[in-house]
Amino acid sequence: MGASRSSALFLAVLAILALSLNSPAEQRIEAVPRGDVITLSEAARFFGATVSWKPAEGKIVLAFNGSEAQILLGSNRILIGDYVLTISAPVHISDGLVRVGVQDAAALFSRLLQREVTASELLAAGLAAQPETARRGITIEDVHYISYPEFTRFIINLRGAPDVETVKVQCVDEHDLSVIFSDARFSRLEPPVDINDGVIARLEFLQADHSSKLLIKTQAKRRTYEMQRYNDPPRIVVDVLPDEPLVTTLGQRTVLPQPNGLTEIEPEPQRERLLLTTVVIDPGHGGKDVGARGAGGLMEKEVVLDIALRLKKLIEQKDGMKVVLTRNSDYFVSLEERTMIANSAKEGAPADLFISIHTNSHKSPKIGGFEAYYISDAVDPGAEATAALENAVVAFEKQGKGPAPDSLVPILWDLQFMEFISQSSELAFIAQEQLANRLNTRNRGVRQARFIVLSGVAMPSVLIEVGFISNRVEEAKMKTPDFKERCAEAVSAAVLNFKERHDVRLGLLKKDAKH
């Protein structure tokens, strides 16, 4: 009996082997080791596709002939047009490379290229990634610079994560800085770049046997620098600041030294323009757009206007501070008009900060708490729902007036606006901390979402939800002057805290100065 069972089992195994040998599809799968991965950038280059990295969204976009694949880091779902591709493992970045399993990559490129791409084809093309442990050293992929009114920023993108010993900045002399990478190479050597923005004169690239150097030649004798390391994706950010603030406005040419060797001296009124002095407060909704409505009949537009008026009064108690409201009573203001106000509030130039005040709402009356948002793609369903709720004001705007919501959003994804996203995040966390100190409600934390009202403003911006008007307990609090005053005090404290950090960072205020 046992021998009979063994024979049957042996015959079954033979049958399975015969089926797999006769199946081309199975042969291809078996020919590819399960652990093989490819690097996305190499595969894209092979097929003629392009890869772009959107750090604010944690997303990679792969494009080919008008089709796009959107890949969210840490997710195993890829959006290709209207099609959702589920892959076997989440996409991740390691050593500066985006690695994808070869079978998953074959499915991805098959859908994107609209033709069959096999795992064998990818491996035959030599696209298999080296094991992570086999990689040594760092590759400097490229260097970008951004000229801001107060400083110049260098963004050095790397392949391979730097550690503390890998990179250092040295002052060569009174004019030059060197960013030195040990055990690193440039992906390609570029000729020197003339910048001449008032801070930086020139950037040079130097390659030695076991190190790489960026030589930054400055125009000002006295200057300071700040360096930060980031690992996801790997990059070094170096900010070079003159000890004396520059006379510049974003988008205008810097005043250069005169031919006779004299440099134009900064007039005091122009120096004052660099200080953080102008804040736009945006009470959400208004007029025909009532916003969210509580079970007791309280309307969002009423609550947030009251808070905004209190907030204006508190901020303007600080000498030199000015607050511009997008509305000061109950009338309708379109999202486009709100951003136009913000972008011209400081003597025709953009304001220094933009803060939009709202109340939240949820289908469950038990949900409550306060939260702060800065702009990005929504990273969780709750944030996405809140953004959808506040963006619904578009329905009240006249048809054909102003750009469509999606056309406003990309402005903040451009590299020149990354600083605003970073500062917006900083402001959001400060505001959340101040609210937590004053409100006896749940702290729901800082979140990222795609709010239209934030997407068109050229300055650090946050949206604050002071509570859930759909929660009866919180609705009752919103009716009281005490709650609204506490909200205003918290946001005012956050603004002044952020202002002090900003002015100290730019050398406009001494660290030991009284606030």
**Bond prior to 90 in cis (omega within 30° of 0):** no
Q: Which of 73-87, 385-399, 404-418 has the lowest mean pLDDT?
A: 404-418
Q: Which domains does the chain have, with CATH numbers?
A: 28-133 (3.30.457.10), 138-256 (2.60.40.3500), 278-505 (3.40.630.40)
The pLDDT score that the predictor gives to residue 78 is 87
Confidence tier at 387 by pLDDT (50, 70, 90): very low
CB atoms within 10 A of CB 81: 12
Provide the mean pLDDT of the chain: 73
Is the pLDDT assigned to residue 492 strictly greater than 80?
yes
Distance CA 88, CA 216 (A): 45
At 423, list the tokens. 């500062």
What confidence category does residue 386 fall into, taking pLDDT thresholds of 50, 70 and 90? very low
- pLDDT of 454 > 90? The answer is no
pLDDT for residue 110: 92
Most confident of the following: 24-33, 333-342, 370-379:
333-342
**Predicted confidence (pLDDT) at residue 416 exceeds the cutoff of 60:** no
Is the confidence at residue 230, as pLDDT, over 90? Answer: no
Q: Residue 377, CB half-sphere, CA atoms under 13 Å: how many?
A: 15
At 303, the pLDDT band (50, 70, 90 cuts) reads very high
Task: Answer for the pair 242, 226: CB distance below 8 angstroms, yes or no.
Answer: no
Segment 444-448 shows an average pLDDT of: 81
Percentage with pLDDT > 70 across the chain: 66
Confidence category of residue 470, pLDDT binned at 50, 70, 90:
very high
pTM over 0.75: no
Give the pLDDT band of residue 249 (cuts 50, 70, 90): very low
Digit-coded pLDDT (tens) for 67-118:
888 887 667 788 888 788 888 877 766 545 677 888 888 999 999 999 998 8
> Which long-range contacts (C-beta less than 8 Å, at least 24 apart) are formed by 103-111?
103/29, 103/32, 105/38, 105/40, 105/43, 108/62, 108/69, 108/78, 108/80, 109/43, 109/47, 109/49, 111/69, 111/80, 111/83, 111/85
Q: What radius of gyration, in Å, describes the C-alpha atoms of the chain?
A: 28
pLDDT of residue 472: 96
Q: How confident is the model at residue 4 (pLDDT cuts 50, 70, 90)?
A: very low
Most confident listed range (377-391, 428-442, 474-488) = 474-488
Is the pLDDT at 307 greater than 60? The verdict is yes
The better pLDDT of the pair 163, 386 is held by 163
* Strand locations in 33-175 (E): 37-39, 50-54, 59-64, 67-72, 77-80, 83-86, 92-94, 97-101, 138-147, 152-159, 167-171
What is the token pair recorded at 174? 């009174």
pLDDT-derived band of residue 36, with 50, 70 and 90 as boundaries?
A: confident
pLDDT for position 149: 64
Q: What is the pLDDT of residue 82?
A: 79
387: exposed, middle or buried (Cβ count in 10 Å: 0-12, 13-18, 19+): buried
Longest CA span, the chain: 108
Tell me, what's the pLDDT at 271?
47
Q: Is the model more confident about 247 or about 189?
A: 189
**How do beta strands 234-242 and 223-231 pair?**
antiparallel
pLDDT per position as a tens digit, 429-443: 899 999 999 999 999
**128-185 pLDDT, tens digit each:** 655 444 445 788 877 877 776 667 878 787 877 777 667 888 887 777 888 888 878 7
Q: So what's the pLDDT on residue 148?
A: 65
DSSP-derived letter for residue 197 is S
Position 121 pLDDT exceeds 90: no
Q: Check residue 406 and give its pLDDT.
A: 33
